[in-house]
Amino acid sequence: MKFEFLLKNTAFGMLLGLLIAFSTAAIIDTTASSQLRQNAVYLISAVTTLIAATLAIVGVLSNIQTQRELEAKRRHRKFLSVKSVFPNALSDACDVFERGIRLSTTYELDAQEAGIHEHNRATLKKVRIPADVTNIFRDIIEFTDDDQVAERVSGLLREYQVALARWRSLSDENLLTTETDIRMRTVFWAYLYAITASLFDIARGNSSRLETKVTATEISTAIGNVTHEGDFDAEIGLYARTFERRFETHS
């Protein structure tokens, strides 16, 4: 806006300066006065064109600035709208990840009863985040000014895609699943739950900065919400280090 203001004043300053210069020259120098009268049409045309061009630039810049302000307001209102439903979206995602923990521990046993392909299709639906939740997460990434929040939510979606891909692979009849595989799969869902839970404070407005980290404690708590069976310490430690490597290095 300062540049636009400068251009406006430049145009009118030029006009005023030229009028003063011509008037002074006409009064002091009769020769100059005669030449001014002879070339008055050309001078007026040139000055008018120059001023018109300057004002046209002012108009273009003013329009660009107005569009930028409108876009900034639109983005801000969109962010406020998305932010208002962010906590609910996190809760819905946590429900899905808890379901993933629960289904992981008994997957092979349940698949024997229902059939591996049918069971995989049925459970895959249960571990899918609803489309509206995914859209909210994407909008948060796009509209937030907090790079840490954007990185955390983006990382959550990225890790979740890995979880889905691994779940689909369970339909392979030739896949040999060990107890370690089951524990890793279970802890992965707890890891996703812990990442999601780490966003609640900032989503609810309890904190202005994303300070919550995902440690072994948070992952262990996520598993404890669903099951107390099994020793997951080694896998929990692995995913706690995974968080440090994939998230904290970007902070």
Q: pLDDT tens digit string along 222-239?
A: 999 887 777 899 999 999
Contact assessment for residue 58 and residue 123, using Cβ atoms and an 8 Å cutoff: no
One-letter amino acid for residue 181 of the chain: D
Name the residue among 101, 103, 105, 97 with its Cα closest to residue 120.
Answer: 103
How is residue 115 annotated by DSSP? -
Contact assessment for residue 58 and residue 106, using Cβ atoms and an 8 Å cutoff: no
Distance CA 78, CA 83 (A): 8
Distance CA 92, CA 126 (A): 12
Contact assessment for residue 152 and residue 247, using Cβ atoms and an 8 Å cutoff: yes
pLDDT band per the 50, 70, 90 thresholds, residue 128:
very high
Hey, where are the domains in the chain? 2-69, 86-250
Q: What is the dihedral of CA 191, 86, 146, 204, to 10 degrees?
A: -90
Token digits of residue 199: 């966003």
pLDDT of residue 47 exceeding 90: no
Contact assessment for residue 184 and residue 235, using Cβ atoms and an 8 Å cutoff: yes
| Chain position carrying tokens 């024997």 | 112
In terms of average pLDDT, the best of 27-36, 73-82, 85-94, 226-235 is 85-94
Token digits of residue 62: 């003013």
One-letter amino acid for residue 47 of the chain: V
What is the pTM for the complete model shown?
A: 0.74
One-letter amino acid for residue 102 of the chain: R
pLDDT of residue 153 exceeding 80: yes
More confident residue, 97 or 65: 97
